[in-house]
Structure 1
Amino acid sequence: MSYRPTVEFLLYQWLDAQKLPGRERFADHSRDTFDAVLDTCERIAREKYAPFNRTVDTQEPQFDGEKVILPQCTYDAQKAYAASGMLSAAQDYDIGGMQLPYTVEAAANSFFGLASISMGSGLLTVGNANLLMVHGTEAQQKVFALNEFSGRFSGTMCLSEPQAGSSLSDVATRAVPDGAGFESDPLGPRYRLKGNKMWISAGEHELTENIIHLVLAKIPGPDGKLVPGTRGISLFIVPKKLVDTEGNLTGVRNDVALAGLNHKLGWRGTTNTLLNFGEGKYPVDGEAGAVGYLVGQAGKGLHCMFHMMNEARIGIGMAATMLGLAGYYASLDYAKNRPQGRPVQNPKDKDAAAAAVVKDVAQPQVRIIEHADVKRMLLAQKSYGEGALALNLFCARLVDEQATGDSAAADEARLLLEVLTPIAKSWPSEWCLEANSLAIQIHGGYGYTRDFPVEQYWRDNRLNMIHEGTHGIQAMDLLGRKVLMENGRGLQLLAARINGTIERAIQVPALAAHANALGSALQQVGAATKAAWATGQPTDALANAVPYMQAFGHTVLAWVWLDVALATLQADPAQAQTASVGRMGAMRFFFHYELPKIGAWLQVVSSRDPTCATFPEEAF
């Protein structure tokens, strides 16, 4: 099954991306140029990524004591991706970019996720460079960001530490001024860093000339002690190899050393590392300590880093989505070709065989796609995967609105993104993982073997509920911050968007019942939000933050599906096209099988059920 028609429908029939060239920033573009970008990425993904997805899974990164060894296909893929211009696709023309809408960029990058998410493309590098374009100095942008956009350098984000995973307030990496003249360095205030960073994706490799680490560290106060909490965290550029003011390598290795490679369940095509900063393995000017350049203001590092983290969270949501769709396409193909079992028949004598399952064993076997339960599992995957894709592309469209819309539209897009980002990351991570589990189930015992790709898709996807903010962290962010910020205005804006879709859908006989169901769900979420915070105590509200997020996410996805259904009927009023029938069926499945689940989730939220929060440790 081809993925291209699905993404084109969402881009052009639903999100009206072809109208974006009407904005000054995108004036040189048209649907033709957008399609050309999609063509290029689809081709590179098909030729350089998809054939090697199993290769990078079985040939894990190895460290020979001097350098990390990766399969040749990884080098070829990275080179092809950089040559495509996608690393700088959304950037200005004057720095070599295409000024491509982020909506189209996200859609184009999805082909790589479908082909081999494990091999990776440019998520962290682009996020790293984008951060520097906002918070870095002109020199930092020229030397580091522009070389990342060109593909010469790659980038990482270094937050977690062995003793402090998601708890950034407990970061212990230190940064001290590098000599009396540290403020005179043209690349920014120069510091020496010492500490350890864990779970650093692409932290060591030979794919690019240099690796630019963005590192969170604390600057000691006058008493030499670190400021507790997040207030003392600053952000530093720490290159693997030192460069001059033109971005040329100086031949000096920075004091950043690989302490080990993490051996992962999945996503094995990308290195994941433990890095030691400033241990003295590569002393600079005879001194231990990694050279780093301050980004932005001291003590404002977390504010800067969130620019990259939010981009990464939407990117992780898209990664989870594409793995879910990859499993769906594989299991759909299998179900169409695997013969097994015979159809259930209605008995002639209803009284005599009321409880019997009647099958004619003389009949030939049918393909498993003809069984209702297999169709249930396929429909679940389709509703999860295509719904998540629509959600993530909608969020990408909001990014464009924030950047190019008028002031009112841009502010509304900003707030909607604040509320939706935890959902865009977490919902696909949970439910597209479930889609991968269903893909294995459809394959039966074969799905549990390495003879078919679905087991790898599940392994690769299991990471997405963990990195870039765990599931629980996203839930607390949503209920503890996002729905409350600016007196709940973001939640109100989202509710207005949902009600707008309900008002349009209720006029369509085929969608009226679904519109009413969505309206009821929205009311339940609103009531549960108020009930959760009725005592004003975070411990009461956040004890059931994950069930809240699950219900909130399902309501958002039901809205997305209803809005997509409206676009489907507008594009194909007779619903004659096979793709249209498929979209409408997936929408009905989601409303009939998935949306009703929110009642159980919201029950514990509304009652502020204390079961989990008060359960005594010794009782485990």
Structure 2
Amino acid sequence: MTERLLNERDIAFQLYEVLDTEALLQRERYQDHSLEVFAATLDTGRRIAQKYFANHNREGDAHEPTFDGKKVQLIPQTQDAWDAFAEAGFLAAHHDFEDGGMQLPEVILRASMAYFNAANIATTGYPFLSIGAANLIRSFASEALQARFLPPMLEGRFSGTMALTEPGQGSALGDIRTRATPADEGHYLVRGHKMFISGGDHELTENIVHLVLAKIDGAPAGVRGISLFVVPKFLVNDDGSTGARNDVALAGLLHKMGYRNTTSTVLNFGEKDGAIGYLVGEPHKGLQYMFQMMNEARIGVALGAAALGYQGFQYSLDYARQRPQGRLPSNKDPLSKQAFIIEHADVRRMLLAQKSYAEGALSMCLYASALFEDQRTAETPEARRRAAGLLDLLTPIVKSWPSKYCLQANELAIQVLGGSGYIREYPVEQYYRDNRLNPIHEGTEAIHGLDLLGRKVSLNRMAAYDDFKTDVRESLALAARYSETAPFIAPLESALHTLDEVTDSLQCRMGDQIDQGLANATLYLDLFGRIVATWIWLRQAQKAAEGLTRPGISEADAAFYRGKLQAARYYLDWELPQTGPQAELLRQGNSVCFDMQDSWF
């Protein structure tokens, strides 16, 4: 079977045909780079992922971390993977040259990360979280904290985590109980408990930098009283060396169905005198700061879901091409040669669905990464503002749609393999188990539905929502150029009109009864997501149709482009129409679920 992590042709298509990543070289920040640098970065990521991450994906799943009461034990290949990742410079890849980074565009870093996710999503969890923690410290911490913690994090000597969730408090962060008391020395003493902290303890690095949400004594109630603290596992001396153990204790490891080689921990802060923590930024603004890392992680989780969906698709595609079984209904000769299962129409249906989900998700995530880049380095303030607004609006969808539908892709991969799909000798059952965590990681669908409908759509008088529709309609105006994309025009224009009607109806209902108005927010999220995904496929279809017109095109490229067009048409014909009954339920304000009573269950 295939040992490919992703399809390199598709990565190039997404970066340089769907997205104009080459244009980034015209921006001042990237003028020292070239396409050759981008290609070398991607190739290095692919090779390291294949050599040091993929080699222990199954072993890490079979032999998950253990805790002997003193130290956490990981399989040794995990250390090799961390070291290779750090030595190649990926922890600092997007940081400035003067800070030891490679000053690479965000979209190149995230495309590289897709390879690591595809190779071993559990081991990739350690650098993934560390990159986000370092970004947050760079954005909001004082110069003194940056000087103390950033260099060793970018070098790979320190790793990082985000410590939000508490026992009994998942997404309801306003009710957290972890407390921080000012100390005379200028730091704080942090006391509380955190759980589900990925990467919360291990021996991969000299130190672990926990970013902890807590409330300073006397803080306002709710989310307005949350502050953010750097709480290291070990204190750091003035000369940068690792000092005494901080009052941070591992209470135990949690054992999840997937991501098994990522330690999932329960941490106790302040069992003795209190864990020394350093305030990040201003008091009571911690959740505002943490949203940077949370939103970055949401796109990263989606990219991981896309990579797992992609892995399952590629494996089941290769399997279908090699597995003979049965004969076509038109063949009545029982002595004839069996057909490979890819010749059966229903198997092609399952493979085409997987292709539409996995390749659509990858494209969606890289588009979001391009928006992240544009909000920072686009040429004009207006372009940066517009990109930031679109990213804010679409992040709930970018997180949720790949997490939901690439899990479905993995389910279909299992189905393609039949009985072999659910035995551990084949990898697709692990892809499914790993991916099943992603609809919960960084917020459930319900949380993101509430965020999208209850807040993001209406922000700034719906400016980002209007910008999104403008971009879709610009794509529709171009769709008439090609016979392959013209069929998108009427259905997608109709879907936009339906989205407007549903959005207006729900906002009116929320004005009268907000609980009932938001009761079906998850359905609204899915409807909106299907429209975004259709547009993402239209963008790919337009570039594929354009590619087919190039003179001297190779047979391989022609097949690649035709595959894109067929997957786009599948999504248009099979997936977008499902928004019809969804919209009808939302227009009605259907209250069946809302009206259900506890005692009736």
* TM score, norm. by length of structure 1: 0.93
Alpha-carbon shift at residue 145 of structure 1 (Å): 2.0
Trace 1:154-553 onto structure 2 (pairs within 5 A). Answer: 154-179=159-184, 182-183=185-186, 190-221=187-218, 227-250=220-243, 252-280=244-272, 288-345=273-330, 359-405=332-378, 406-535=380-509, 536=511, 537-553=513-529
* AA aligned opposite 1:388: A
**2:65 corresponds to 1:73:** no
Partner of 1:610: 591
CA contact (8 A) 2:182 2:189 kept: yes
CA contact (8 A) 1:220 1:227 kept: no
Q: 2: distance between equivalents of 1:334 and 1:509?
A: 33
Query: Which structure has the greater CA radius of gyration?
Result: 1
How big is each residue's C-alpha offset from its partner over 1:269-307, in whole Å with a ceiling of 9 and x where there is no partner?
Answer: 100000000012xxxxxxx11000000111111011111
Trace 1:580-619 onto structure 2 (pairs within 5 A). Answer: 580-619=561-600
Q: 2: distance between equivalents of 1:162 and 1:28?
A: 48
Partner of 1:11: 15
Q: 2: distance between equivalents of 1:562 and 1:326?
A: 23
Alpha-carbon shift at residue 451 of structure 1 (Å): 0.9
Alpha-carbon shift at residue 364 of structure 1 (Å): 1.6
Partner of 2:534: 558
* DSSP 3-state at the match of 2:436: helix
* AA aligned opposite 2:497: Q
Q: 1: distance between equivalents of 2:489 and 2:86?
A: 45
How big is each residue's C-alpha offset from its partner over 1:248-273, in whole Å with a ceiling of 9 and x where there is no partner?
Answer: 112x1000000110011010010000
CA contact (8 A) 1:515 1:562 kept: no
Structure 2 alignment gaps of length 5 or more: none
- Bigger share in helix: 2
* AA aligned opposite 1:151: G
Alpha-carbon shift at residue 361 of structure 1 (Å): 1.8
The sequence identity of aligned pairs, in percent, is 47
How big is each residue's C-alpha offset from its partner over 1:88-128, in whole Å with a ceiling of 9 and x where there is no partner?
Answer: 11110000011100011111111101111121152111111
How big is each residue's C-alpha offset from its partner over 1:409-458, in whole Å with a ceiling of 9 and x where there is no partner?
Answer: 00000000011111111000000000000000001111011010000000
How big is each residue's C-alpha offset from its partner over 1:313-353, in whole Å with a ceiling of 9 and x where there is no partner?
Answer: 000010000000000011011101111110011xxxxxxxx
The worse-fitting range, judged by mean Cα deviation, of 371-380 and 516-525 is 516-525
* DSSP 3-state at the match of 1:227: coil
4+ residue runs over 4 A deviation: none
Partner of 1:138: 143
Structure 1 alignment gaps of length 5 or more: 184-189, 281-287, 346-357
1:62 pairs with one of 55, 66, 87: 66
Alpha-carbon shift at residue 605 of structure 1 (Å): 1.4
Q: 2: distance between equivalents of 1:548 and 1:51?
A: 41
Q: 1: distance between equivalents of 2:570 and 2:74?
A: 43
How big is each residue's C-alpha offset from its partner over 1:540-586, in whole Å with a ceiling of 9 and x where there is no partner?
Answer: 22111111111100100100111111111222227851111111111
1:43 pairs with one of 21, 44, 47: 47
Q: 1: distance between equivalents of 2:414 and 2:433?
A: 11
Q: 1: distance between equivalents of 2:574 and 2:76?
A: 45
2:560 pairs with one of 579, 585, 605: 579
* AA aligned opposite 1:214: L
* AA aligned opposite 1:292: G
Q: 1: distance between equivalents of 2:336 and 2:112?
A: 47
RMSD: 1.2
* AA aligned opposite 2:221: P
* AA aligned opposite 1:194: R
* DSSP 3-state at the match of 1:231: helix
CA contact (8 A) 1:41 1:109 kept: yes
* DSSP 3-state at the match of 1:550: helix
CA contact (8 A) 1:441 1:447 kept: yes
Q: 1:403 to 1:246 in 2, by over 3 A?
A: farther
* DSSP 3-state at the match of 1:144: helix
Alpha-carbon shift at residue 146 of structure 1 (Å): 2.2
Q: 2: distance between equivalents of 1:579 and 1:545?
A: 37
Q: 2: distance between equivalents of 1:247 and 1:608?
A: 59
Alpha-carbon shift at residue 604 of structure 1 (Å): 1.6
CA contact (8 A) 2:482 2:545 kept: no
* AA aligned opposite 1:382: K
* DSSP 3-state at the match of 1:309: helix
The worse-fitting range, judged by mean Cα deviation, of 93-102 and 530-539 is 530-539
* TM score, norm. by length of structure 2: 0.96
* DSSP 3-state at the match of 1:464: coil
Q: 1: distance between equivalents of 2:581 and 2:238?
A: 59
Q: 2: distance between equivalents of 1:279 and 1:612?
A: 44
* AA aligned opposite 2:215: K
Partner of 2:543: 567
Alpha-carbon shift at residue 515 of structure 1 (Å): 1.9
CA contact (8 A) 1:541 1:605 kept: no
* AA aligned opposite 2:85: Y
* AA aligned opposite 1:595: L
